[in-house]
Each structure stands twice: as C-alpha cells, then as structure tokens.
C-alpha cells in the first residue's frame, strides 16, 4: 500500500521543503485548499482532498476532511488484520503522516474590533479532528502540529529511525496544542457572556523560556506567557542586552510593572524582592530615578528600576553608578543604550505601551496552592473618589490630598501589612510584609527619617489601634489616608485631632500577600 501524507496548514512555514522531502521518500501528498495551491506553485504535485473522499468540499470549506476516507485512513490500526481488511473492502488507503496547523483563532481575536461572527468562523473543526485521530493512532501515524518538527521527521525517515518514543512525543504535542486551542475558544466565549469565574477553568499559556532555576537554586523553573498577552505585559518584553531573566527577576519585574501602571505622569519605580523600595513622579526620567533612589539607596542595590517614559542618556549615566539587575522602559535613546553597554550583564528590557496605563478590569489573578488554585479579579482600582471621607477636624489641603493619593497608589503594591510615607510625589519610606501594622509604620517612618516631617502617610488597611497614628504624629506626618472600618477608628481620629493631622478614609482595602 502506497505511503501517503496529508498536509493542510494555515501556517505555510517550511511546508514546501517538507513536502519535497516526503516526495523523495516516495510519499503521495494529499492536500487541501491554500496548501494545495502553495505546493503546486512550488512544483510539488499533490492530490486534492476531494480526489480522496470522492466528495466535493462544501459549505464554504467547512466540510472537506470530515469524511471516512480520511479518518479511516488515520485510525486504522495497521497490526489489526480486521481493520486492514475493512480498508481493503472499502477501497480506502492509509494515511501515514499528517501535518496540520489550525485556523488562526488567536490572531483573529487579538485584532481590534473583531466581530463575534469572524471569531467563530475562525474556529477550526476539521483540523483538530484530524490531529486527534492521527494522534490517537500514534503508533502508525506520525502527526505534526509544529513546523519545527518537519526537519527531524524527514531526518528520521531517511535514517529509518522513526521510533515509537518520537511518535509519542508528536502525539503529546498534538493534544497539548488542541487543549490550548480549545482553552482560547472557551475563554473567549466566557468573556462574551461575562462569565468571570466559569465552572471549569482552563488557562492557555505557552512556554517563553526555561529558567536556570526557580526561586532557589534547588528548584526547577520556567516562564510561561499568557497566550493572549497584551503588548505592555512582561511576556512581550524585548531584551536589548544582558543575561537571561531569572525566576526572581521576572517576579520582581512583574511587581514593578503593576506599580508603574498606577501612574500616567513620568514615573520611576524601584523594586526589590517584589516590594517597592522607591517610587516617584517627576518631570524627567532622571529626576524620577534620583527621587526613587533617594527613597532607599540601600535596598535598590541589586533591584529593578522601571520607567513609563523613554530613558535618555542622563538617566542611563546615573543608573550605571550602582548595581541594578534590570532596567525597564517603553524605549531608550540611542546614546542611553550605548551607556548601558558598559555593563553587559545589566538586563535592559523594552516593553511597548508602558507610557499609557492599562485597565486591569477583567484580568484574573491566580495563586497556586497544593491541591487547587485561588482565583480573583485583579485589584484594578485605587478607590472611588465618592467614598473619600474626611474624618478629622482638619481636612487635607489640595497639595496634601494629591500626595495622599500618590502614597495610596504606592502602598497598594507594598506587601501587607503595608505603610508608605510620601512627599513631593516621592515614596520616602515604605514598610511592608509585617505581621502587625505598627511594625510596618515604624519601619516606614524610620526609613523616611527627618524627611517624614511635613510628609503624608498611607496604610493599605485600617489602623486596628491608635498606635500608628501616634507614631505618625511623633514623626511629623501632616496627613493620613487609610481605608477605615476598624471598631477603634475613633481612637485614631482622636489622636489625629489632638496633633492637627488631617485623615481621610477611602473605604477600600488593598491587602497584597
């Protein structure tokens, strides 16, 4: 029985060379639509699918490979005499190699203003069916969904070494690919129906890179990108120079981008161990960096500096004075890029779109626990302006109120329990990750030092006792912003009134664990 290969691909990468290699090995090529045309234009003779099925393609191509002549040839077990006798009786041949990749559903739904009808039309039916049939019969059919595997299969065919283990690998790739494909479809449909937390949650991610190790050297690790990742996400970063990113680099950088997304003005944020150690909004990247550095010159060492504006030479020259792991920005001046080359191990990342905050509404956060997954919508808002309530006799003046909002944006991204002290749109002290709030307050105020006099303070959750207000008063804080809601709120209010501190409640907590 003549060996046959069925080729039907939307991505034509490498398909002509692959087909020519199969022809040299004596395979008859079966093809469909655009693939058949591409092969003929490049001198590869092939049979159209209708010649095999003896049935015309119909319904605008929706039905062409969904036919027993195709699927019997894929699913017949060659070692089963009954199967082979049935093929012979029906006048059907086997199909021994399948190369299929699917309608571009992902690319379709990523297009702006794509219609629901267009998205649905790009749901492949025949392709996944052929892939799954061929993969089920892996011992007899070599099935390829990835053009990168064409060359290896040809090499193995020429050497007579198409092992069962290799076919099992191809089988695995098929089911992984179709699982992701179906996940993209189900997630798209869930969004259309405003289903935030479906009964069965499927997530589609593709490996971006293997990591040298995980959080610690004895742990293995890898980085997976969301299949529908936005251009301003970390998975879309272009690494302009430096070593590969580590697990901790990626985790810290993600935290930096989350905080950076709070600001539309020119900003720089500094992050160490996924915690902000500096943040500033200024007129230039240089001024923003200097202010972020001054907030904590010790912690920023070995940390990350992230910007939402193009980095110029002046900022670059300032940053290379210390050891930084990563610099992130939407772009860099050519002379700034030259400056960074003085430190070849410094990782310099370019991420488009950072100059414009992105809405996080509809984005899900997930945390893996042993035996399950915690899922929530992302903490996408700061607070509702309508909920802002002055609770002290003195109200913050206009300048204080602006500083309070800045400080609250920073503390939202500090590990809980979290406190941030700010002045002049700079975070001059942060305290985070503490098991009680007073320790976080003392830590933040200690880091701020004398600069705390005349500054403002933000807390990610309410004051359970009046001790935080007392510490703020001792340090010279003039205004406080916090969610409020403690049964002891009045005690903190009384302390603020005693010392002339303005305090506002916003009714929205920002725990971050």
pLDDT given for residue 297 in this prediction: 94
**Average pLDDT score over the chain:** 92
Percent of the chain with pLDDT over 90: 70
pLDDT score at 404:
97
Cα(204)–Cα(451) distance, rounded to whole angstroms?
47
The phi and psi torsions of 161 (rounded to 5 degrees) equal -130, 50
Average pLDDT over residues 427-452: 95
Kindly tell me if the per-residue pLDDT of 491 is higher than 90: yes
Is the pLDDT at 307 greater than 70? The verdict is yes
- Mean of pLDDT values over 379-384: 92
Higher pLDDT, 102 or 285: 285
Q: How far apart are CA 196 and CA 32, in angstroms?
A: 39
Going by C-beta distance under 8 Å and a sequence separation of 6 or more, which residues neighbour residue 439?
Answer: 417, 431
- pLDDT for residue 70 is more than 90: no
Among residues 269, 369, 370, 386, which one has the least CA distance to residue 327?
269
Chain centroid offset of residue 217 CA: 24
Catalogue the active-site residues: 136, 273
Q: What is the pLDDT of residue 294?
A: 94
Separation in Å, CA 461 to CA 34, 404, 470: 60, 14, 17
Residue 462 binned pLDDT confidence (cut-offs 50, 70, 90): very high
Q: pTM, whole model, 2 decimals?
A: 0.86
Average pLDDT of the residues in 348-359: 93
Per-residue confidence (pLDDT) for residue 112, from 0 to 100: 86
Q: Which residues contact 33 (CB under 8 A, 6 or more apart)?
A: 8, 57, 61, 64
3-state secondary structure 361-408: CCCEEEEEECCEEEEEECCCCCCCHHHCEECCCCCCCHHHHHHHHHHH
3-state helix, strand, coil in the chain (%, to 5): 40, 20, 40
Distance between CA atoms of residues 61 and 64, nearest Å: 6
> Tell me, what's the pLDDT at 1?
65
pLDDT tens column, 19-63 = 999 999 999 988 888 888 898 899 888 887 777 877 777 677 777
Residue 66 clears pLDDT 80, i.e. is over it? no
Q: What does the pLDDT read at residue 68? A: 81
């Amino acid at each position: 029985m003549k060996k046959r290969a069925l080729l039907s691909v939307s991505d034509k990468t490498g398909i002509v060379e692959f087909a020519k290699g199969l022809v040299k090995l004596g395979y008859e090529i079966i093809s469909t639509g655009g693939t058949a045309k591409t092969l003929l234009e490049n001198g590869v003779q092939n049979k159209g699918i209708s010649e095999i099925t003896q049935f015309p393609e119909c319904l605008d191509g929706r039905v062409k490979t969904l036919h027993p002549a195709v699927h019997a040839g894929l699913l017949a077990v060659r070692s089963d005499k009954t199967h082979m006798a049935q093929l012979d009786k029906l006048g059907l041949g086997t199909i021994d190699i399948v190369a299929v990749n699917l309608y571009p559903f992902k690319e379709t739904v990523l297009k702006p203003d794509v219609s629901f009808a267009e998205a649905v039309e790009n749901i492949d039916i025949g392709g996944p069916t052929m892939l799954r049939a061929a993969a089920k019969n892996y011992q007899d059919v070599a099935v390829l969904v990835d053009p990168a595997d064409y060359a290896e299969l040809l090499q193995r065919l020429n050497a007579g070494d198409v092992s069962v283990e290799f076919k099992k690998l191809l089988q695995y790739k098929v089911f992984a690919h179709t699982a992701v494909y179906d996940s993209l479809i189900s997630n798209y449909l869930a969004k259309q129906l405003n289903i935030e937390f479906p009964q069965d949650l499927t997530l589609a991610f593709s490996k971006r890179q293997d990591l040298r190790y995980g959080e610690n050297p004895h742990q293995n690790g890898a980085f997976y990108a969301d299949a529908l990742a936005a251009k301003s996400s970390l998975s879309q970063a272009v690494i302009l120079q430096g070593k590969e990113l580590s697990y901790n680099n990626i985790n810290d950088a993600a935290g930096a981008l989350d905080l950076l997304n709070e600001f539309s003005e020119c900003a720089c944020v500094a992050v160490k161990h996924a915690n902000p150690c500096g943040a500033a909004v200024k007129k230039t990247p240089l001024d923003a960096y200097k202010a972020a550095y001054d907030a904590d010159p010790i912690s920023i060492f070995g940390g990350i500096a992230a910007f939402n504006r193009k980095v110029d030479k002046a900022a670059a020259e300032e940053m290379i004075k210390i050891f930084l792991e990563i610099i992130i920005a939407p772009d860099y001046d050519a002379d700034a890029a030259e400056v960074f080359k003085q430190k070849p191990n410094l990782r310099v990342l370019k991420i488009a779109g950072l100059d414009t905050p992105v809405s996080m509404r509809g984005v899900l956060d997930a945390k893996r626990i042993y035996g399950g997954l915690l899922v929530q919508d992302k903490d996408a808002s700061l607070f509702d302006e309508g909920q802002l309530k002055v609770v002290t006799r003195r109200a913050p003046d206009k300048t204080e109120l602006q500083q309070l909002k800045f400080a609250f944006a920073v503390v939202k991204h500090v590990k809980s329990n979290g406190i941030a002290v700010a002045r002049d749109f700079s975070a001059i002290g942060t305290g985070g990750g503490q098991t009680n709030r007073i320790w976080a307050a003392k830590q933040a105020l200690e880091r701020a030092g004398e600069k705390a006099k005349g500054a403002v303070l933000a807390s990610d959750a309410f004051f359970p006792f009046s001790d935080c207000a007392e510490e703020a008063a001792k340090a010279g804080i003039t205004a406080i912003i916090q969610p409020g809601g403690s049964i002891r709120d009045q005690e903190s209010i009384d302390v603020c009134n005693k010392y002339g501190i303005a305090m506002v409640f916003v009714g929205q907590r920002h725990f971050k664990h």
